[in-house]
Amino acid sequence: MNSWMRSELISIAPMYIEWLELYPVVTDLLGIDPARDSVASYVLRNLLLQSRMTLRLEHIGRVAVVVGAGPSLSSSLPRLADCLSTRVPIVAADGATRAVVELGLAPKAIASDLDGDVDAILEACRRGSTLFLHAHGDNIERVLELYPELSRACREIVGTTQVPNPPYPLINLGGFTDGDRACLAAYLLGARRIVLLGMDLSSSYIGKYSKGLEMRVTYRKAVKLWVARRILERLGRRAELVEVGAKCLTSSRGVSVEKARTMVLNWLR
């Protein structure tokens, strides 16, 4: 492990420590079995070791755009497309990968637990995206089924888990949903100015890129969005977060798409 990688892993340590306090609360609220989460982490660990997937964690720069699968993504992403990808790295949350690929772009990284559009993830990985693959108690069979194809398509798979003391080579980023893990992955890869697109954390609806169609937020989803807000509030103390559209976080700035575009271009100068 090189010195840069070691320093970046240390940089997310405070988020991991804070997550250890939040994890028991989340398991109680959502009826999550920590033992199943632990089993999932070892399943993914074994797959990574068997396929000899190495951990590289390439630096993506100080500025990144994180793309979530919220309802606002359809209108906001195309208006920023011309200054993304080749100029500003994109980190996509699961189903939002489809929106990025449809514009002919490829994310630098994707955070996914494989409940979104796997075909889009495979396509992006063939174009060079790094996959932050998350294992938990509810997706063990999905991971086992899809890992062989993912390992062929992906240049790099970084295993993530939500359990304490993750087994090597897995990482606990300190996140819970694909959206907040995407933000934490961007931070881990060096971004300290992070623009949030489609991260509609207070919306009453789930965007079409999340589950294939727009639908009302369920109780379970509402709890997950609350957890994501908690995590991103903490990240906002360490990085500059800019929300495009409705502002949900106290530790961020809320701006229009046009303002976000201007800010990103100014940061690149």
What gap in Å lies between CA 23 and CA 227, rounded to an integer? 10
pLDDT (0 to 100) of residue 264: 86
Percentage, residues of the chain above pLDDT 70: 93
What gap in Å lies between CA 46 and CA 33, rounded to an integer? 21
Is pLDDT larger for residue 4 or for residue 33?
A: 33
Least confident piece of the model among 1-10, 122-131, 231-240, 259-268? 1-10
Is pLDDT larger for residue 151 or for residue 87?
A: 151
If residue 182 lies in a helix (H) or strand (E), which one and from where to where? helix 178-188
**In order of start, what are the domains of the chain with their CATH numbers?**
3-267 (3.90.1480)
Which pTM was predicted? 0.94
pLDDT (0 to 100) of residue 211: 64
If residue 234 lies in a helix (H) or strand (E), which one and from where to where? helix 219-235
| Length, in residues, of the chain | 269
pLDDT (0 to 100) of residue 153: 96
Residue 111's Cβ-side half-sphere holds a number of Cα atoms within 13 Å equal to 29
Asked whether the CA dihedral 26, 64, 187, 147 is positive or negative, the reply is positive
Mean per-residue pLDDT for 63-89?
87
Closest CA to 244 of 194, 204, 208: 194
Closest CA to 251 of 211, 205, 188, 201: 201
Closest CA to 72 of 217, 225, 263, 205: 205
Tell me the C-alpha to C-alpha distance, in Å, between residue 180 and each of 1, 13, 19, 39, 111: 25, 15, 12, 23, 9
Strands (E), 176-261: 193-197, 205-206, 215-216, 240-244, 252-255
Tell me the C-alpha to C-alpha distance, in Å, between residue 31 and each of 26, 138, 163, 169: 8, 11, 15, 27
